[in-house]
Structure 1
Amino acid sequence: MEDLESLIITRRLRVPLGGEPATGPGWGETAARQLDAALLSVGFTCSPRLLERLSRLPGPAVVDLGVRVLSAVRRLAGDHVEHNAYFIDFPANVPDTPEFWAGLMRRALVVPEHLPPSPVLNLLELPGYGRYQHSYADLVAAHAELVPLAGDRVTVLEAGGTLAEEARDLYLSLAGAETPLAAEDLAALRALAAVCDAEPERIPVRENRAIVNEARLAAGRPLLVDTVTDVLRLACACSGGDVTLAAPTRFRSFRRAERRALLAALDAVATPAKLGDVPRHREPWKRLGERLHPHEHPRYPGAAAVFAVARGERRAQSLDARVEEALAARRTADAVALLENAPGALLRRLDHLLRLGDPRAVLDAAEGAAARASGRVLLSLSEHLRNRLAPEAGRVFTNRYGRAWAGPDTRPPLEEDVVARAAEILDAEIARRLPDPGRLVVDPAALDVALPLSGKAVAPGLGMLPRGSLSEVDGELLRFFVHWRQARRRTDYDLSALMLDASYGSPEHVSWTNNRTGFATYSGDLTEAPEGASEFVDIRLAAATRPIVIPQVHVYAGEPFDEAAEAFFGYMTRDAAQEGRPFEPRTVRAKSDLRGSGRVALPLVFLRGEDGRWRAKWLHLYLKGHPGFNRVEGNRVTASLLVRSIVERDYLRVRDLVRLLEPKATAAGRTTYIGLDVPAGLPDGARIFTPATLHELIPA
């Protein structure tokens, strides 16, 4: 249950309480204040309500809870490890790159036995390179204490209900999400489903449904399936496989009761129309059939038909195949007629249909489909259309793992009046579905947060925002960091930064091949991490001669991000007078894990606007890269094109939903608050949307 408690704290910033005996003022109050002081040292604090409730608990209970809370938030901020730096005085006294390499060569020549045995000199094998030359205690002693300032991050922890209540709320939020979840959230949903017996009103995302069905199957409860693919996803979930069906699953052996339940569910939904979904996943179905033994259960003929289609013994054509046939024959009206039975599919193809057929007829069909499609599809199409009146700098394609690639925009433009009518249809339907907010209160800082139309690419963490979001960057110094720890083999990650001018040209970089520029400093290269390693890049914002700064993390050698024992990225801001160690948790503005199969990570980009202010725009992208030896110099063109495409794209943001909500708002009634943090003084019963719960704002 301790892991569940940590999950609640880190995802919701709420401390589960309840059930403990109250003792009144005394040692509990002292322990609560001591906990609050300890939390402040890492950039967190107790809300007045949390402090008051902790003060009424017995002292030992507060101490025990405080240890768990402090551990959870330190991990959330990245302070659970010791962040050493290669150069002990970083960012001071970092040598120029030629000076640094010359010094290593001199040391090797003074002690010839330290030279590598290979006849070919490898600079990376020089003695003293790539490994810490001092302890973490030495680094701490070399740096002055951080000077606390009012601008330091202070994240407020709220008082929660009982652990069971908080787990139930998080479970219902994740299970009922209108948008696909990140892999970490799917894992959290699985843990919560195993202990929560609450019934979500609806589970619109198929992957979430598979996780919930896994728990229902284990408990012997009825399954929630309405397509044959739901059963396939469930079998993958039970086998520890990929419920997204993107990667192959090795199915386990199922117990007889499980086989009967899966076959019965399959038989109930295997209508002729739905058998067309089987060929899309033909091979997984054939492998699953070997485990379920449908021939032993003749009372489930529908299930047997599914496996007959998979084996090619029976023909079943999918809707997509029939639509493609119609489009290939230039029978656009027939294709539209077919798609009217699948409103989401029609809207996803709307751009293509508008270019092929009669726009008026296509838009009439789209208006009918809009009333039956999901809110996420409506919002995604709305965002797509607002970027169609002018060619994009480059079309960015991203998969479910954040892997990205770009290509030229070769699509013919759409007529402005066609786009305008489509936008009116979508706005009207989205506004109709949005709830009445009552008294609407919006934090201006949240207006430029992009709507989370998919959470797959965003690893949960501290201060994380959806791709395309803009957030202010305050402070004189910007410092981003990476920390990793290898699992089985030597692993070398390299933190770098690519700096560009306003036209995305005049490249300059800082990395292990160039320790310093006029305004950026690299902390030094570490080439292995058996106990963990950290690298930093320091940017003096006022001195920056380039308005675009793109942090990058490269897998130079060893384990990719999703195989390392630990890997995370983040950034800090501070004033020059604060000094402090290279890593100070109270100055961390954002931090999250690195993952994905790509070997180059582009978490975000820092941009200086025409007003001189710096902002971060979130990317959450991974490049395929090379199997080894990735460097910032090698992906400059690709990274520049991808970043430019994201920066110049007009994302659907919170301000767009607020525009539709404001006409429904009233001066009285229940309060709806949208912001980056939860402020004090909100009335009881207020509905609150922060980045952690912003997906709940997506209409059904």
Structure 2
Amino acid sequence: MHDATDHGGLEARLIQATLRVPARAGAPSGRAENVARQADAALLTAGFACSRELLEHIAGLEPGAAIDTAVAVLAAVRGLAGGHVDHNVYFADFPANVPDTLDFWADCLARALVGAAEGDDEDAAAGTDAVVADPTKADAAAEGADDAAEDGHPGADPAPRPDGVNLLGLPAYGRYQHTYADLLLRHDDLVASAKDRVTVLHLGGPLPEEAHRHYLRLAASPVPLGEADRDLLGLLAAYCVDDPQPEEIGIRENRALVNRVRLAHGRPLLVDTATDVLRLACALSGGDVTLATPTRFTSLPRADRRALMAALDRVVAGQPAKLGDVNRHAGRWKRLGERLHPHEHPEHPHAQEVFAVARGDRRAVSLAGRIEAAFAAGDTAEAVRLLAASPGQLVRNLDRLLRTPGTPAPDATASGKTAPGGTAPDAVGLIAGALAEAAPHVAGRVLVGAREHLSGRTGLGGARLFANRSARAWVAPDDRVPLGTEAVARVTAVLDAEIAARLPAAERVLVDPDVLEVAVPSARAPEGGLGMLPRGSTTRVDGDHLRFFVYWRQAREITDLDLSVLFLDAGFGFQGQVSWTSLSGYGGTHSGDIVEASEGATEMIDLDLARVSAAYVVPQVNVFQGEGFAELAEGFFGYMTRDADQAGMPFEARTVRVKSDLVGTGRVVLPLVFARDPDTGGWRARWMHLSLSGQAAFNRVEDNHADTGALARAIVEYRYLTIGHLVESMRHRGARVEIRKESPGRLSPGDVYLGLEHPEDLGDDGEVFTPARFPELIGG
């Protein structure tokens, strides 16, 4: 069912997600060469270019259709790079002529008092009320200066603290004093650089073909999708409901979104656990299918209630042991029962047992409960036997299994020896054997996560990084007993063998060197944006200046986001910061604080990398007050790179390297950490994709620098499995590996190409893997 009611919106989403432009139908006219050339020139200003095939396709269209295509493509890619909005900044000459923090605040206060004195009595009273009020942000700034002084850090300039002054109320503070047109007049044109980003757009098939192609990819994704991709999957599932469906949907939340569409069209549901039904109920209520946050279940039509009860009945009737899964979400099941009215469906007695377990009227021992009992008893053999029924859980519990004493073999008992890490040698063999049988049935991301984890478990101390499904993160000391080197090597060999066996069979592997340090995806896919890579990926920073930006537009209430940069020394200790409380220093310059965004607002921080002495730089976005990231009408973070001789506006789309949507329930977002190479002095970025819970309001870099430093250290020191590791595995399997930056030309059958982007003229004979397809390298 290809509903064309939002043809343009779907087409734009597909262009942004795939960098492929759906081909326009119609007889070619060959009269739109000028339109094609103009479109390509306009795209270059946003950092994009048409492939030869796409340019020829546009040139061959009827002029009206060519213009429509060009306009749609340009709008889509501008949105992808963040250039679809006007990025005004507070200081019109930014990054030049930004005043010292103290001078700026003093000037704002003086202008407010002069304005009040020059007005009539009524205006003067209003001006005084605006200035002398709740000291919300002024106090926060002053406290930041005090904290920095107490810690011995020059983290903020001395902040004026006149009693009862409301910094937010000063007419000149936090609100644009000039228009975007005024800003344009203050800046020269951007000087082109060979380092400017140029992303190639390719020609795709007709819209229905492109939609179905991407639908299959999203639905069958081996890793959980980000929020934007889940939303797009829901749209595509409805658009492609009559098309061939994916053979398997391994990610349960993806299954829920597809099931919502199948239910609406009377198609059979894809459910094999009770939790699948719970996720579907969340989807029908417009709630969170990841189950990370509670859902307020809505009243459902009787037909939907019958369908959910019937699906539950089939699951439990087929495998009664699956009732044990209900305990994990008992509260949600009780709330859902209030909407499904189980007593009205006596024809589904097995489904009614689900709600009896949720209410506590019936006891159901889960597999997890029996596994915990085995661990508590120190019975490795029983734990392995139980975990064998759930291969993914077996892999996730490898560390714990290797720390369980187990039952030593007779000769080990006689000698009193056990394997390093406290596990008897026969137990290690039992674990490795069970793993070898389970590994082929385990999701690739789980294998990768276990491999990464075990690589750092033979040493003492360190820190443990925890990140939940919403990217909320924290660090704790690692006080676990180290694992034995031999035991880890034996188990790791099984994991490596399974990972290698899943890689594409290739005669020749051509590799862009820029992908060698990209992390193999093992967690949720990055949120929507440009240049996004998995957590732990490392990329080189080109350019003399690094410029961070955040844009947001509030939805319902006044919202103040703050862009800040934290500078850390070689030991990840606090060195300084640039933020709204400290407008310049450490090689950085802030564009000025904006405190509300009804029409949209932008803050930027420019770093002259030659003047940065810190070993690590961590940008962050804080919610000072108002809506959270998920509640905003729109919000995104990113960074640009520029050479020293480039001018231009504060925001230039073709210099944008990364643009990432702001999402999640945390109040502080930490997208990346930038590290200086001690040997070359160059800079490299490592993706964090983390957030801090923060406070409900008044979050500042001064308050979270310790937590941020600990998270940055954990990310930098963690041993991620990279694409380079997979390339070496393919080499060991007999593939001829060629690592080169230039385009490889046309691929031959049996060739595999790995790169950050899809070069032109590769042809259709080989396999091309870019970051969107990296999860497919080792599959589900």
Provide TM-score, normalisation by structure 1.
Answer: 0.97
In the alignment, the residues of structure 1 paired with residue 301 and residue 583 of structure 2 have an alpha-carbon distance, to the nearest angstrom, of 60
Cα offset for 1:418? 0.9
Paired residue type of 2:367 = L
Q: Partner amino acid for 2:284? A: C
The answer (yes or no) to whether the contact 1:389–1:413 under 8 Å persists in 2 is yes
What residue in structure 1 maps to residue 480 of structure 2? 411
State the alpha-carbon separation in 2 of the partners of residues 392 and 53 from structure 1. Answer: 60
Distance across 1 between alignment mates of 2:51 and 2:631: 38
Q: In the alignment, what sits opposite 1:9? A: 15
Tell me the residue number matched to 1:50: 54
Equivalent positions of 1:591-670 (< 5 A) are 591-610=659-678, 611-664=680-733, 666=735, 669-670=749-750
**What do residues 47-104 of structure 1 show as CA deviations (whole Å, max 9, x unaligned)?**
1111011111111001011111111111111111111111111111111112222222
**CA separation in 2, counterparts of 1:125 and 1:573?**
35
User: Deviation string for 1:480-526 (max 9, x for gaps)?
Assistant: 01111111221111111111121222511111111111411111111
Does residue 541 (structure 1) correspond to residue 609 (structure 2)? The answer is: yes
CA shift for structure 1 position 665: 5.4
Separation in 2 of the partners of 1:54 and 1:402?
Answer: 42
How far, CA to CA, are the matches of 2:648 and 2:586 in structure 1?
22
State the match for 1:377 in structure 2. Answer: 446
Alignment: residue pair count: 697
- C-alpha contact (below 8 Å) 1:440/1:665 kept by paired residues: no
Comparing 293-302 with 310-319, greater Cα deviation is found at 293-302
Distance 1:15 1:392, change over 3 A: farther
Identify which of 754, 762, 767 aligns with 1:674. 754
Indicate the residue corresponding to 1:573 in structure 2: 641
Determine the structure 2 residue equivalent to 1:284: 332
What's the CA shift for 1:365? 2.3
Correspondence for 2:776 among 683, 688, 696: 696
Aligned to 2:382: 334
3-state SS of paired residue (2:629): coil
Q: Secondary structure at the match of 1:693?
A: helix
Cα pair 2:249 2:255 within 8 Å, conserved: yes
Cα distance in structure 2, aligned partners of 1:212 and 1:637: 42
Pairwise mapping of residues 558-569 of structure 1 onto structure 2 (< 5 A)?
A: 558-569=626-637
Q: Single out whichever of 278-287 and 81-90 deviates more from structure 2.
A: 278-287
- Is residue 2:512 matched to residue 1:512? no
Which residue identity is paired with 1:212?
A: V
RMSD of the TM alignment (CA)?
A: 1.7
Q: Which blocks of at least 5 consecutive residues in structure 2 are unaligned?
A: 1-6, 118-123, 134-162, 407-423, 737-747
The aligned amino acid for 1:536 is M
Residue by residue over 1:513-561, the C-alpha shift from the partner in whole angstroms, topping out at 9 and shown as x without a partner, is 1111141111111111111111111101112111211111111111111
Residue among 122, 139, 162 paired with 2:206: 162
C-alpha deviation, 1:296, in angstroms: 3.4
Q: Deviations over 1:609-649 (max 9, x none)?
A: 02211111111111111121111111111110110110111
User: Which residue of 2 is the match for residue 255 of structure 1?
Assistant: 301
Q: State the TM-score, normalized to the length of structure 2.
A: 0.87
1:522 to 568, 572, 590: 590
Contact 1:602/1:619 (8 A) holds in 2: yes
Residue matched to 1:92: 96
- Aligned-residue offset at 1:318: 0.3
**Match in the other structure for 2:28:** 22
State the shift of 1:254 in Å: 3.1
Structure 1 residue 676: Cα displacement: 0.3
Aligned mates of 2:24, 2:458 — CA distance in 1 = 55
C-alpha distance in 1, partners of 2:625/2:690? 20
* 2:772 partner SS: coil
- Given candidates 380, 384, 401, the residue that maps to 1:353 is 401
Cα distance in 2 between the residues matched to 1:215 and 1:37: 41
| SS of equivalent to 2:771 | coil
For the structure 1 residues 66 and 18, does the alpha-carbon distance in structure 2 shift closer, same or farther, using more than 3 Å as the test?
Answer: closer
Contact in 1 for aligned 2:550/2:603 (Cα 8 Å)? yes
2:181 corresponds to which residue?
Answer: 137
Q: Corresponding residue for 1:684?
A: 764
Structure 1 range deviating more: 380-389 or 296-305: 296-305
Q: Secondary structure at the match of 2:465?
A: strand
Identity %: 55
The answer on whether the counterparts of 2:132 and 2:166 sit within 8 Å (CA) in structure 1 is no
1:93-242 equivalences under 5 Å are 93-111=97-115, 112=117, 113=124, 114-115=127-128, 116-118=131-133, 120-196=164-240, 197-242=243-288
Cα distance change, pair 491–686 in 1 and its aligned pair in 2 (3 A): same
Give SS of 2:350's match: helix
Which residue matches 2:366? 318
Equivalent pair of 1:190/1:211 in contact (CA under 8 Å): yes
Partners in 1 of 2:573 and 2:340 — Cα distance? 58
Q: In 2, distance between residues paired with 1:123 and 1:35? A: 46
What is the letter of the counterpart of residue 681 of structure 1? D
Equivalent-residue separation in structure 2 for 1:46 and 1:186 (angstroms): 28
* Equivalent in the alignment of 1:426: 495
Task: Establish whether residue 59 from structure 1 lines up as the match of residue 63 from structure 2.
Answer: yes
TM-fit CA distance, 1:455: 2.1
